[in-house]
Amino acid sequence: MNVSLLPPPPPLQAGAFARRRQRLMAGLANNAAVLIPGAQLKVRSADTEYPFRQASDFHYLTGFPEPDALLVLLPGHEGGEAILFCLERDPDMERWTGRRIGAERAMAEYGVDQAFENAARDVELPQLLAGRTNWYLALDDSDAMALAKSLRVKLTSRRETDSPIVLSDMAEILHEQRLIKSDEELSLLRYAAHISARAHCRAMASARPGLMEYQLQAELEHEFRWLGANGGAYDSIVASGNNACVLHYIENDAPLRAGDLVLIDAGAEYQLYAGDITRTFPVNGRFTEPQRALYEVVLGAQQAALDAVRPGTTLPAIHALVQRHLTEGLLALGLLEGELEDCLAHGACRRFYPHATSHWLGLDVHDVGGYTKNGKPRRLEAGMALTIEPGLYIPDLPDIPEEYRGIGIRIEDDVVVTPSGGEVLTSQVPSQVADIEQLMARGRAI
Ligand code: GLY
Ligand code: MN
Ligand code: MN
């Protein structure tokens, strides 16, 4: 392991969440109400549930970690603008299913102005919303829509409003806000990236022929949890040999074979912020010549893309740069034929590189925020976080030169746009051939 451990960032304070709520409310129409339900527990089988994961929008505005909660924002409301509904304290239930925060502590520790237990929703919610005619919620969230519809029926049947209630999409406004990360968020993203990087180094150093893909997954996920991450930000992909050509391969149940590459795409979720790293390396610690040749093509494209990250550029411009590098490399290796400009015009490299180069990164691994603005590709701004993840996936088909068949390579790093360029958060995991081989040689010596 060549990554020394950094200290974790301080936890976010209640004031950080309050500032986010203020910013959101500042952009709303008059007479607004915002309704944001938190996540609910989901049944896994019989009476077991999936591990609870708070809804990202709700977390962004509250930091409140329990299921079945609801945030209501009422700009200008005299009794307080931020109102939380949460699970009731219940000593019998808490004995079985865990301690609950309750309304009293929610106010004291999470900085909301008012808090009620969920049992009070039927009485309190219609009163709070009376007279508010512009309701903001996520229109694609079935829980939020069901709540809004039932409240609207209640309010109109009681004639507590005579003007129509307008439902507007809260997502667009809130997701614009989430797209630009604050300094506090960047510290959390850096730490998620750091844990992810340590985990990748650990898996790389542990790899050897005869292990199973899931044993490398265990190395990664051990490191995630050991360093305080919730676990993975998504299902870890450990794809050896031809499995790497399946983009979302998650079976991870094949043996690692000498002479194959293994592609690992995995990232930690730390305080709900995601890391997202991919590295591809030889199972036995040494690239073969054809593997190295293809790998250097992807690495060159990735380096060019990382260097291109700066305010003012766009993701399609970076993607075009990657496609140019990959196409040049594929022509040089004989995997494509023809003139460079013709190949680019026809998108010839899509056969080997079918996905995008980047996505936003944050509380969600494929984070929110529009990819276009006013109908045009959005220009990068300082504080945006994104991935750079070119790859080549060469099918095992007769028209492909034999030495390249069934090789899949992706190299993915996490980057924050700074005022003058990009800060790569994940450079602690080697991506140069010599550095990978050196780390693996050290790992095999242990
Ligand atoms: N791990 C999913 C992605 O790279 O987008
Ligand atoms: Mn990614
Ligand atoms: Mn990834």
Reported as a single tens digit per residue, the pLDDT across 15-33 is 999 999 999 999 999 999 9
Give pLDDT, residue 115: 98
pLDDT digits (tens, 9 = 90+) for 82-122: 999 999 999 999 999 999 999 999 999 999 999 999 999 99
What mean pLDDT comes out for the span 354-382? 98
Q: Phi/psi zone of residue 311: left (φ > 0), alpha (ψ -120 to 50 degrees), beta?
A: beta
- 53 has a pLDDT exceeding 70: yes
Residue 223 Cβ inside 6 Å of ligand 1? The answer reads no
∠116-122-124 over CA atoms, to 5°? 50
Q: Is the dihedral of CA 143, 149, 154, 159 positive or negative?
A: positive
Give pLDDT, residue 443: 86
Distance CA 425, CA 186 (A): 10
Q: Is 194 a catalytic residue?
A: no
- 132 has a pLDDT exceeding 90: yes
State which residues have CB under 5 angstroms from ligand 2, the bound ion: 276, 387
CB of 361 within 8 A of CB of 387? yes
- 1 has a pLDDT exceeding 90: no
Least confident stretch, 63-67, 139-143, 254-258, 325-329: 139-143
Residue 160 — pLDDT band, cuts 50, 70, 90? low
Q: Is 355 a catalytic residue?
A: yes
- 68 has a pLDDT exceeding 60: yes
Give pLDDT, residue 271: 98
Give pLDDT, residue 108: 96
Distance CA 203, CA 218 (A): 8
Distance CA 362, CA 269 (A): 10
Q: From ligand 1's centre to the CA of 204, what distance in Å?
A: 19
Burial environment of residue 329 by CB neighbours within 10 A (0 to 12, 13 to 18, 19 or more):
buried
Distance CA 131, CA 155 (A): 9
Give pLDDT, residue 371: 98
By percentage, how much of the chain surpasses pLDDT 90?
A: 94
Distance CA 380, CA 15 (A): 28
Residue 163 — pLDDT band, cuts 50, 70, 90? confident
pLDDT digits (tens, 9 = 90+) for 147-159: 999 999 888 877 6
Average pLDDT, the chain: 96
Distance CA 198, CA 97 (A): 33
Give pLDDT, residue 155: 86
CA 54 vs. chain centroid, Å, equals 14
Residue 413 Cβ inside 6 Å of ligand 1? The answer reads no
CB of 275 within 8 A of CB of 200? no
Helices 14-26 and 102-110, packing angle to 10 deg: 80
CB of 432 within 8 A of CB of 441? no
CB of 302 within 8 A of CB of 413? yes
**Residue 212 per-residue DSSP state:** B
- 135 has a pLDDT exceeding 70: yes
pLDDT digits (tens, 9 = 90+) for 263-313: 999 999 999 999 999 999 999 999 999 999 999 999 999 999 999 999 999
What mean pLDDT comes out for the span 28-49? 96
Token digits for 323? Answer: 């496609």
Helices 289-308 and 315-332, packing angle to 10 deg: 160
User: Could you give the C-alpha distances from 376 to 180, 181, 314, 323, 397, in angstroms and in order?
Assistant: 18, 22, 10, 20, 38
Residue 249 Cβ inside 6 Å of ligand 1? The answer reads no
Residue 167 — pLDDT band, cuts 50, 70, 90? very high
- Helix, strand or coil for residue 184? helix
∠18-166-124 over CA atoms, to 5°? 55
Residue nearest to atom 5 of ligand 1 (CA): 366
Residue 234 Cβ inside 6 Å of ligand 1? The answer reads yes
Residue 2 — pLDDT band, cuts 50, 70, 90? low
Q: Which residues pair with 274 in a beta bridge?
A: 269
Q: Is 175 a catalytic residue?
A: no
Give pLDDT, residue 3: 72
Give pLDDT, residue 137: 97
Q: Is 393 a catalytic residue?
A: yes
CB of 378 within 8 A of CB of 386? no
- How many DSSP H helices and E strands does the chain contain? 13, 21
CB of 424 within 8 A of CB of 411? no
More confident residue, 407 or 164: 407
